[in-house]
Structure 1
Amino acid sequence: MLRIAITHPEAEARERWCAALSALLPQARVEGWRPGAEPADYAVGWYPESGFFAGQPRLRALFSAGAGVDHLLRHPDLPAALPVVRLEDAGMAEQMVEYCLHEVLRLQRRAPDYERLQREGRWQELRSLRRDELEVGVFGLGVLGAQVARAFAALGYRVRGYSRSPKAVEGVNCFDEGRGLQAFLEGCRVLVLLAPLTPGTRDLFDARRLAWLPEGAWLVNVARGALVVDEALLAALDSGRLAGATLDVFREEPLPASHRFWTHPGVRITPHVSAVTLPEISARQVASKITALERGEPVSGLVLRERGY
């Protein structure tokens, strides 16, 4: 019998993954992993527990239980030849669109300014911005980034996108390494970060690159905290160079209580909830790919370790 191990730190998530995959793959035995368990053929996990890989001599693939895989690739025990497969959308794109749209609509309708006026006890009407006055830049045009960019374009926003290699997304002014990151950033009134964390993107948004954004721009980070240098972002906010930042991801999570992001008036914080994994939907994708692998067929979402995603 095919065996599938679920290695997730949250008990509720483990149970949901087990129930969903068991229903989709009734010929398989799906169980939450525990020390001493029988070796599995496939695993689904966020960050496998210590000792997991040592007892898996026949493991054929590891499926990430989230969109990102940087944490998995840093696992000290991850076998060098083990295929790692990332989730592709699996219900997250719709959530990401909603989150990013909510933040942009707040800016368009001047919500941060009205909140400041309320604190000051001032009654003052401000002009709302038109959609075509807010050019939205999406850094990272993968599955989620492309969906977000298309959604904004369909609503009448001016949208530009950036990816490492050339891409074409309907309604989006696409940039890549050939056209240049600086040219891309210079037109972003709102910058949405949706790229994976790789050696090439870690600390990419430092003081120099944040200065390429237009004065008064707003940053939305829903990718990984380490894409942005915290001190550089705080300095840009302190100086007024950037109007504000919405941060859903951080270098250290939970965000330490002493971090200045908690108290900075220009920062909005959410606890990594912009797009959460929905096991019932994600399981369909994993089950389909396991079925394909069992037939000897190729699957999409296979991580290229040298690229980082």
Structure 2
Amino acid sequence: MALLYKADPVRGATWQKLFGAEAPEIDFRHWPDTGNLADIRYLAAWTVTPDLLASLPNLEVLFSTGAGVDQLDLTQVPDHIQVVRMVEPGITEGMVEYASFATLALHRHMLHYRKAQAEARWAPIKLVPAKDRRIGVMGLGNLGRAVLTRLGSYGFALSGWSRSPQQVDGVTCHAGAEAMPAFLAGCDILICLLPLTAETHGILCRKTFDLLPDGAALVNVGRGGHLVESDLLAALDAGKLSGAVLDVTEPEPLPNDHPFWRHPAILLTPHVASMTQPESAARVLMGNIRQHRQGLAMLGTVTRGRGY
């Protein structure tokens, strides 16, 4: 029973050491030291090619080394191979921290104060109590729920939107396309935590922005493909939106002359909101392999039709 790891080599070295100490029954192989390819039942990778998959005749499970699988072309993965995304505490806590920081920065007008400082202006803005600031989260999976729980501790009014109906304590939940207008109308700060699929590509667009209250703000910690960049710039320049915090772009990194770099109403970070922690991620992977060997469900199993 062999696992082939083909991703970040530094993380791979950490994982190999941990597997050797805590799961010696799993033969951990670090690319390109593959050994006999017929032995490999599990592959942990960020991206794969059809040639790589074809070279592994007995592969049973493909583990994404990240929280999403949109970087994978699932149509190229044979149906008999299960696909599993990474679900681990470090990813969740990192996202909660970042979403809290971004929300509070927008709530407390930090983009305005950053500009005022650069211009040597003393320009206070009246404080809006958290209970009067409405926060909406698109995507009510594990990350979205964790973010809402933390933001609720500040007293914000919370709502959420997802494709299918969900229930989250203390959150007004909306589901489906028909509920989108009502959801957006109640969002002073909109946080995108959706998976990137054919249905959600470009969802952060003029149509969406027009349904938000005037002066609303955006946090995108989903994927760069969710955002129509020209529509965001137009909404910011027209004053429809007051600011945006973006941790993801398309492409990554952006070219040096991209307008996001220097726009005064945009805070841009280099896809750092959530990072897999090598130690806890390795143990999640060990647990999933053991679950699979026992015929039990694995954490993070992807439904092909949904793309997540």
TM-score, with normalisation over the residues of structure 2? Answer: 0.94
Cα distance between partner residues in 1 of 2:269 and 2:116: 23
1:206 equivalent in alignment to 2:205 = yes
TM-aligned CA distance change 1:203 to 1:153, over 3 Å: same
The answer on whether the counterparts of 2:223 and 2:249 sit within 8 Å (CA) in structure 1 is yes
Matches within 5 A, 1:166-177: 166-177=165-176
For the residue of structure 1 that corresponds to 2:71, the secondary structure is: helix
Cross-structure match for 2:236: 237
In the alignment, what sits opposite 2:55? 55
Trace 1:139-218 onto structure 2 (pairs within 5 A).
139-177=138-176, 180-218=179-217
Partner of 2:35: 37
2:116 matched residue in structure 1 = 117
What is the root-mean-square deviation of aligned Cα atoms in Å? 1.8
1:299 positional shift = 2.2
Distance 1:118 1:295 in 2: 60
Task: In structure 1, give the amino acid aligned to 2:68.
Answer: G
CA shift for structure 1 position 243 = 0.7
Q: Aligned residue for 1:6?
A: 5
Cα deviation for residue 37 of structure 1 reads 3.4
Mark the CA change 1:98 to 1:231 in structure 2 (over 3 Å): closer, same or farther: same
User: How far did 1:274 drift?
Assistant: 0.1
Deviations 1:269-301 (A, max 9, x none): 111100011121112111111101111222232
Deviation readout 1:5-63 (Å, 9 max, x if unpaired)? 1010x221221222233333111211212176322111111113674223211111011
CA contact (8 A) 1:35 1:51 kept: no
Is the contact between residue 7 and residue 49 of structure 1 (CA under 8 Å) also seen in structure 2? no
Pair 1:211–1:202, CA change in 2 (3 A): same
When the two structures are aligned, how many residues end up with a matched partner? Answer: 306
1:92-123 Cα distance to aligned partner (Å, 9 max, x none): 11111111111122223222222222222222
8 Å contact 1:110–1:128 — kept in the other structure?
A: no
Report what 2:91 is aligned to: 92
Q: Map 1:123-138; keep pairs closer than 5 Å.
A: 123-138=122-137
Distance 1:176 1:77 in 2: 31
CA distance in 1 between partners of 2:217 and 2:25 (Å)? 50
- Provide the C-alpha distance between the structure 1 equivalents of 2:200 and 2:113, rounded to a whole number of angstroms: 35
| Contact persistence 2:88–2:276 (CA under 8 A) | no
- 1:119-157, CA deviations, whole angstroms, 9 ceiling, x for partnerless residues? 222223332221112211110000101110111113211
Give the SS at the match of 1:18.
helix
Instruction: Give me the whole-angstrom Cα distance separating, in 2, the residues matched to 1:35 and 1:14.
Output: 12
Matched, 1:71 2:71: yes
Identify the match of residue 26 of structure 1 among 24, 27, 31: 24
**Residues 90 and 285 of structure 1 are in contact (CA less than 8 Å); yes or no, is this contact kept in structure 2?**
no
What is the DSSP-based 3-state SS (H/G/I as helix, E as strand, rest coil) of the residue aligned with 1:137? strand
Shift in Å, 1:76: 7.0
Structure 2 unaligned segments of length 5 or more: list them: none
Task: Using the TM superposition, give the Cα deviation of residue 77 of structure 1 relative to its aligned residue in structure 2, in angstroms.
Answer: 4.5
TM-score (norm: length of structure 1) = 0.93
Kindly, what percent of the aligned residue pairs are identical? Answer: 38
Change beyond 3 A, Cα 1:35–1:77: farther
